[in-house]
A = this chain, B = another copy of it.
């Protein structure tokens, strides 16, 4: 069988025969990009069903999995995400308005702001996370576990090489 990347590579091979020996990275990286776009669209649709932006869902999961009292500084959320500080400020604004998180000014260092999951926020993410994992499983159901393990192992190596090793 063949997918869209096979066609793309085939077109390039026809149009730029001088590049045929350089097309091999596209076979993996091109597919990673396309899979990511498809998965992202699916996850966006999923979170929208629960009234959440993907970025808001990301903040909820980050706060929840760090454990009680479900609190991180704004700066820590920036480092744990792939977005800038301005984006985090906006997300917190929206989520605070929704009652999902609250800002707590730290007495010790009043520059920093602690973002804390509210009880409502914790209940929301505890429900949504379970469904998210079921949705994730559905998105991967065409593969068997051995195949997924192979991909995971290689991509772990790639992430390590790019320094993606810590959350903070």
Are B161's CB and A23's CB within 8 A? Answer: no
A137 in contact with B25 given A39-B33, A159-B35 (CB within 8 Å): yes
Report the minimal beta-carbon distance from A5 to chain B, rounded to whole angstroms. Answer: 7
Across the interface, do B152 and A147 meet the contact criterion of CB distance under 8 Å?
A: no
- Chain A contributes a number of interface residues (CB within 8 A of B) equal to 69
A-B contact pairs, 26 of them (CB 8 A): A1-B157, A1-B165, A3-B156, A3-B165, A4-B165, A4-B166, A7-B167, A22-B133, A22-B134, A23-B133, A25-B137, A26-B136, A27-B148, A28-B143, A28-B151, A31-B151, A31-B156, A32-B32, A33-B39, A36-B36, A38-B159, A41-B82, A139-B162, A147-B154, A151-B154, A151-B155
A interface residues with partner B (beta carbon < 8 Å): 1-8, 11-12, 14-16, 19, 22-29, 31-41, 64-67, 82, 126, 129-130, 133-134, 136-137, 139-140, 142-143, 145, 147-152, 154-162, 164-167
A interface majority secondary structure: helix
Q: A146: nearest residue on chain B (CB-CB)?
A: B154
Q: A3-B156, A150-B151 are in contact. Are A65 and B31 (CB under 8 A)?
A: no
Bound CA span A143–B25, Å: 10
**Contact call A143/B154, Cβ cutoff below 8 A:** yes
The CB with the most chain B CB atoms within 10 A, among A1, A26, A130, A154, is that of: A154
Other-chain contact of A32, B8, B14, B35 (Cβ < 8 Å):
B35
Q: How far is the CA of A156 from the CA of B15 in the complex (A)?
A: 23
Q: Could you say which residues of chain B place their CB within 8 Å of the CB of A157? A: 1, 142-143, 147
- When A12-B65, A147-B157 are in contact, do A133 and B3 touch as well, CB less than 8 Å? no
